[in-house]
């Protein structure tokens, strides 16, 4: 579809509210809202909208679609967001809104859906089906398998249209077959397969078209699009040379390019998995049919001969059969007498009966029709096989019915009779669900209701398909005089019809024809050829001839046992269509239906033209007036109490909450929900087993509230999860920084327990700064942001914004002018270009980032440990290597000019608070007082260093302390052990108050401080935690709580099943693997270590080793 959209259409699609002025000029978008309801008002409203290119109108959930006969540019991927995730009332009518409703219902309610597209030939049914399938393709998943299924679904359209569609007087792309396309969906709502069922291909078109029409598209595609080599191999000429496709004197179609369409069909064949051999076989059969059509016969006395042997020989070569056998099968008919029926043992005789030219012509046409029909069925089967390639299980289906529309021509035959019968059945289904069943349900449920009169076409369906109906009488004639054919049997059939139905109100018989009063109007059917077409069989000798073909493809199309079939009663075309229609109705009844009623505005296929009489006739037979009346008087939604309660209970605090959910009766629960939501009594009624909601707006409001509730709950869950993940990640970074700095650099007291928050300058709210990064960073994720002091080449400090992303770090300068802040990026350096980091061993905040390209950067920031952890993590993720970190009291670095500078760090106890800087040429001396010892352990509580399996001081891992009430445990890292006895102040001894309740703390007795240091974090041990008074005993045993004299083994777990890591912080393991348990975060996830890697494991996949 095009992308240029008229202002009226764009305004309409964006859901602008209708005003009284717009209604006066453009009509209402839902016929239920008409001030006055009648056929004239409905036609006038549709006309108003059609004049403004607004081709869609609602009747409640039913969508009316008028064929515009031009590209309105109102469909395509750019329009999908307007409708995706929205309810019908949020936008004005469109096929996308109906497709979204079907797709949403399938995912939300878990039920099968079907879209029934009905209307006359040329009303736009096929295009509507393609738009719906395209929308579902746009909004569903994107995995490789899902994309494959979607490609098959979409590419099946040009393939089926090429072989099953044709130009008719009323429609340039008329479907000459019925198609019910079930798209299968998995639990996630993504297409995973499909199934196409085809109905009643118009086989007669293969051999005959009236003036102004064409045969099936692919005949012309092949003649126009085949390359020279293919034409030579297939004996192809221009389309005008072939009788089967030149009878209509129409070889091109406006808006179609046969040569281009041929290439699209060949591409679609590749998508369906048709091999080169399969494709060549199809082309040979199509070319063979074209050549067969040019075979002519002439009578020579009592004999009949072929007028020109060349077409016969060409057709035989393409079919892979002997030309003599092909000729004989058409010129003679094999007749068997005696012994053929009743299963008796009588001996029979076989005769070759010569046929006259008319009979030979009939045999030839029957052969062409049957070969094409079976080839078409084979193509459908190949599409189904392609849809089931991965054999993925499916949960639900969305079925799309695109079937030939009601047809009334000057000369209507057996094909129109069958087509109109199927449409009559669909109309019956529509009546059953939208009119009859709805009113019957109101009575059954005791709902107050004003009945609406409507025409029930059940009487017409019974006339056609009843036990003694038209199909039944036709089959009887074919069975009783099966050896005869021609006008005599057709007239016998007409006589039986008149004798059986002369008093029927919907039947009338006259010379050579009969009339049926259909829901769409009176149709006269010519009986000529009806009995032969109903037999729908090839002579057995013709089938046997085809089974001698060298083409295994052609042989596979005719697998029947001819001799065995002679003993069975043949199946007729009428019986097949009755059976297919019954199966279709059964499939549709298992789905929640969505209706598209297509209307044809004129018969000349011209945009803008309007034939009011034709439109009024369609409005009448589609039953739109009755549909509007029922809708206005009825209820928009109904559901069993249990389903309504289950769907909407979360909207009331009295039926759902942290306390639990409703346990009372379902009816009372529904009443509670409606009352709590403030629904007035006139908006709903309570039936005996169901609740009925009168207005669509009330239902839309409920659905919006459910979606909002689900969204809010999901956001809370996601927020909690993300917060936990970020906190866990920050602890990981602190652990990593502690691992790098411990033993190498003195620490500042205020950095020991500082939390990492990554953003210290409200970067998320600074849109100007974000724009600087986005313009240069190509959508990089920011992982650290803070202001730093950058030393320039003269060693003068300059304040800069320092931003680290997953790909680079940025240094941005700020300037202020007229109270407005301006930003200028002074450097962007790729993290992969960092060659190393340098720090001093003292407690200063200086950090040098050495670059493999260009110059280095010297910055000062009190969050240097976090910067180190962030840079190391991002660098390792990009390069797979560990970022080198060096510690030295003399650091040389390169400046922008290419020269070098040196930092010299000197301990000076008088430099309290801030370091003392002294310049000496190219050297900058930094004098700083002493900080906490290098061995100070700043690892967060409960986390282990990867570098060492055992904590210093001989302690055991967390949870591995002394038995409850056990002996003392040495402190880790120069202080009281976590969970051990109370530590003294810095340099002091032990001793403090016992925990509440007296007695030794859980996990061990008093623990002397190792090296006289304080407990982690300085000062008294964490006695205030978990019940201990401040300065008192420590809480339950943790890291370092092992018994004196030795550390117990670390807890371990053994894998019971295989597990593949889903995120970077999880561990992949196999059944039987043994790993160390670091920490049990919850009942669901544990932190573990295996083969030197730490990460999370699902607790239900492992068993702790006792």
Residue 1075 · residue 1053 · CB < 8 Å: yes
Active site residue 407: yes
Beta carbons within 8 Å of 503's beta carbon, 6+ residues apart = none
Is 171 an active-site residue?
yes
Give the chain's radius of gyration (CA, Å). 42
Choose, from 27, 405, 623, 953, the residue flagged as catalytic: 405
Q: Pairing relation of β-strands 834-839 and 885-887?
A: parallel
Q: How many CA atoms lie within 13 A of 712 on its CB side?
A: 8
- The DSSP-derived string for 451-508 is ------THHHHHHHHSTTSHHHHHHHHHHHTTT--SHHHHHHHHHHHHHHHTT-TTEE
CA dist 72 and 78 (Å) reads 14
C-beta of residue 869 within 8 angstroms of C-beta of residue 736:
yes
CA nearest neighbour of 137 among 398, 401, 395 = 398
CA distance linking residue 211 with residue 74, whole number of Å: 34
Residue 121 bears catalytic tag: yes
**Exactly one of 122, 134, 961, 1041 is catalytic; which is it?**
122
Q: Scan for tokens 């962030």, then name that residue.
A: 870
- Number of alpha carbons in the 13 Å side-chain half-sphere of residue 443: 9
How far from 965 is each of 527, 956, 968, 969, CA to CA, in Å?
104, 16, 9, 12
Select which of 45, 74, 156, 175 is catalytic: 175
Q: Are 938 and 1013 in contact (CB under 8 A)?
A: no
174 has catalytic annotation: yes
Q: What is the token pair recorded at 1029?
A: 């008074």
By the 10 Å C-beta count (0-12 exposed, 13-18 middle, 19+ buried), 1080 is classed as: middle
- Active-site annotation holder among 67, 121, 168, 549: 121
Selecting among 118, 172, 174, 655, the annotated active-site residue is 174
Residue 612 near residue 47 (C-beta atoms within 8 A):
yes
Catalytic residue, candidates 182, 407, 445, 732: 407
Residue 757: active-site member: no
CB proximity list for 306: less than 8 A, separation 6 or greater: 295, 296, 297, 312, 327, 331
CA angle (19 as vertex; 596, 82 as ends), nearest 5: 50
Catalytic residue list contains 854:
no
Active site annotation includes 405: yes
Q: Which of 45, 92, 118, 171 is catalytic?
A: 171
Q: Among all chains, which residue has been given the structure tokens 């079919």? A: 319
| Active-site position among 65, 112, 126, 840 | 126
- Calculate the alpha carbon distances from 483 to 105, 145, 362, 819 in Å: 54, 53, 15, 103
Contact indicator for 210, 407 with CB cutoff of 8 Å: no
Residue 107 near residue 154, CB atoms below 8 Å: no
Helices (H) and strands (E) in the chain — how many of each?
32, 38
> First and final CA of the chain: distance in angstroms?
68
Q: Is 961 a catalytic residue?
A: no
Rounded to 10 deg, the angle between the 309-319 and 323-331 helix axes is 110
Please name which of 1013, 1019, 1091 lies closest in space to residue 1055, comparing C-alpha atoms: 1091
Angle, alpha carbons 234-237-240 (nearest 5°): 135
The residues, ordered by sequence, that sit 6+ positions from 562 with a Cβ below 8 Å of its Cβ are 540, 543, 544, 547
Catalytic residues: 121-122, 126, 171, 174-175, 405, 407
């Amino acid at each position: 579809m095009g992308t240029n959209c008229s202002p009226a259409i764009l305004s309409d699609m964006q859901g602008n509210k209708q005003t009284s002025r717009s209604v006066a000029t453009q009509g209402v978008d839902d016929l239920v809202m008409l001030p006055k309801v009648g056929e004239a008002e409905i036609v006038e409203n549709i006309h108003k909208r059609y004049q403004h290119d607004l081709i869609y109108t609602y009747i409640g959930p039913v969508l009316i679609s008028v064929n515009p006969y031009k590209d309105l540019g109102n469909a395509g991927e750019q329009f999908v967001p307007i409708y995706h995730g929205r309810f019908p009332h949020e936008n004005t009518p469109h096929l996308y809104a109906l497709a979204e409703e079907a797709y949403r219902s399938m995912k939300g309610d878990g039920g099968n859906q079907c879209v029934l597209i009905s209307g006359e030939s040329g009303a736009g049914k096929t295009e509507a089906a393609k738009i719906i399938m395209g929308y579902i393709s746009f909004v569903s998943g994107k995995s490789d398998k899902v994309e494959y299924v979607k490609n098959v679904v979409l590419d099946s359209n040009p393939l089926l249209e090429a072989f099953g569609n044709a130009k008719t007087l009323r429609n340039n792309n008329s479907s000459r077959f019925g198609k019910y396309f079930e798209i299968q969906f998995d639990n996630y709502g993504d297409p995973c397969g499909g199934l196409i069922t085809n109905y009643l291909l118009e086989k007669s078109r293969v051999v005959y078209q009236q003036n102004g029409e064409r045969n099936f598209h692919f005949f012309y595609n092949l003649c126009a699009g085949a390359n020279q080599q293919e034409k030579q191999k297939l004996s192809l000429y221009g389309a005008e040379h072939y009788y089967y496709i030149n009878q209509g004197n129409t070889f091109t179609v406006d808006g179609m390019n046969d040569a281009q369409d041929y290439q699209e069909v060949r591409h679609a064949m590749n998508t369906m998995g048709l091999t080169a051999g399969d494709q060549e076989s199809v082309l040979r059969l199509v070319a063979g049919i074209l050549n067969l059509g040019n075979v002519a016969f002439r009578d020579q006395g009592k004999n009949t001969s072929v007028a020109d042997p060349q077409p016969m020989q060409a057709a035989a070569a393409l079919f892979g059969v002997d030309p003599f056998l092909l000729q004989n099968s058409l010129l003679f008919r094999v007749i068997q007498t005696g012994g053929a029926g009743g299963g008796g043992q009588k001996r029979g005789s076989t005769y070759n009966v010569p046929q006259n030219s008319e009979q030979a012509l009939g045999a030839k046409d029957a052969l062409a029709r049957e070969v094409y029909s079976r080839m078409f069925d084979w193509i459908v089967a190949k599409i189904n096989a392609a849809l089931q390639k991965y054999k993925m299980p499916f949960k639900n289906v969305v079925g799309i019915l695109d079937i030939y529309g009601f047809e009334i021509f000057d000369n209507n035959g057996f094909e129109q009779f069958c087509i109109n019968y199927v449409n009559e059945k669909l109309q019956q289904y529509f009546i059953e669900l939208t009119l009859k069943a709805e009113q019957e349900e109101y009575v059954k449920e005791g709902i107050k209701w004003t009945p609406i009169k409507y025409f029930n076409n059940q009487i017409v369906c019974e006339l056609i398909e009843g036990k003694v109906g038209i199909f039944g009488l036709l089959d009887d004639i074919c069975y009783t005089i099966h050896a005869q054919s021609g006008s005599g049997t057709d007239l016998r059939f007409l006589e039986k019809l008149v004798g059986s139905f002369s008093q029927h109100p919907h039947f009338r018989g006259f010379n050579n024809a009969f009339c049926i009063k259909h829901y769409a109007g009176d149709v006269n059917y010519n009986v000529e050829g009806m009995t032969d077409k109903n037999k729908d069989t090839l002579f057995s000798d013709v089938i046997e001839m085809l089974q001698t073909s060298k083409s295994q493809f052609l042989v596979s199309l005719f697998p029947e046992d001819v001799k065995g079939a002679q003993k069975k009663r043949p199946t007729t075309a009428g019986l097949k269509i009755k059976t297919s229609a019954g199966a279709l109705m059964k499939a549709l009844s298992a789905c929640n239906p969505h209706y598209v009623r297509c209307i044809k505005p004129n018969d000349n296929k011209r945009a803008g033209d309007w034939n009011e009489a034709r439109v009024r006739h369609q409005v009448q037979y589609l039953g739109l007036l009755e549909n509007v009346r029922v809708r206005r008087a009825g209820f928009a939604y109904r559901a069993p109490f249990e389903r309504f309660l289950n769907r909407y209970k979360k909207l009331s605090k009295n039926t759902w909450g942290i306390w639990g959910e409703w346990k009372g009766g379902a009816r009372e629960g529904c009443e509670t929900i409606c009352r709590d939501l403030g629904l007035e009594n006139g908006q709903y009624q309570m039936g005996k087993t169901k609740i009925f909601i009168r207005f669509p707006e009330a239902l839309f409001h409920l659905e919006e509230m459910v979606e909002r509730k689900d969204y809010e709950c999901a956001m809370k869950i996601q927020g909690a999860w993300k917060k936990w993940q970020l906190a866990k990640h920050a602890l990981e970074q602190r652990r990593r920084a502690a691992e790098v700095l411990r033993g190498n650099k003195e620490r500042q007291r205020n950095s020991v327990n500082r939390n990492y928050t990554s953003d210290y300058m409200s970067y998320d709210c600074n849109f100007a700064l974000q724009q600087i990064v986005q313009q240069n960073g190509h959508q990089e994720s920011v992982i650290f942001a803070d202001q730093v002091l950058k030393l320039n080449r003269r060693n003068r400090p300059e304040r800069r914004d320092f931003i680290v992303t997953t790909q680079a770090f940025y240094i941005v300068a700020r300037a202020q002018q007229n109270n407005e802040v301006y930003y200028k990026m002074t450097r962007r350096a790729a993290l992969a270009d960092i060659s190393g980091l340098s720090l001093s061993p003292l407690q200063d905040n200086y950090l040098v980032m050495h670059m493999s390209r260009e110059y280095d950067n010297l910055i000062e920031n009190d969050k240097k440990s976090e910067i180190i952890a962030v840079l190391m993590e991002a660098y390792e993720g990009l390069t797979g290597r560990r970022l080198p970190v060096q510690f030295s009291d003399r650091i040389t670095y390169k400046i922008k000019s290419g020269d070098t500078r040196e930092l010299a760090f000197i301990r000076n106890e008088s430099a309290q608070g801030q370091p003392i800087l002294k310049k000496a040429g190219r050297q900058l001396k930094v004098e700083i007082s002493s900080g906490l010892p290098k061995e100070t352990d700043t690892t967060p509580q409960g986390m282990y260093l990867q570098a060492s399996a055992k904590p210093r001081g001989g302690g055991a891992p967390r949870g591995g302390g002394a038995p409850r009430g056990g002996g003392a445990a040495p402190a880790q890292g120069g202080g009281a052990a976590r969970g051990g006895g109370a530590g003294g102040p810095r340099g002091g001894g032990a001793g403090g108050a016992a925990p509440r309740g007296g007695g030794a703390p859980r996990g061990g007795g008093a623990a002397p401080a190792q090296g006289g240091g304080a407990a982690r974090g300085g000062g008294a041990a964490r006695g205030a935690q978990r019940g201990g008074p401040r300065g008192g005993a420590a809480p339950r045993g943790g890291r370092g709580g092992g018994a004196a004299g030795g550390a117990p083994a670390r807890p371990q777990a053994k894998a019971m099943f295989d597990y593949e890591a889903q995120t970077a912080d999880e561990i992949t393991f196999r059944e039987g693997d043994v790993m160390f348990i670091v920490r049990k975060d919850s009942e669901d996830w544990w932190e573990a270590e295996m083969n030197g890697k730490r990460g999370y494991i699902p607790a239900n996949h492992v068993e702790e080793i006792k």
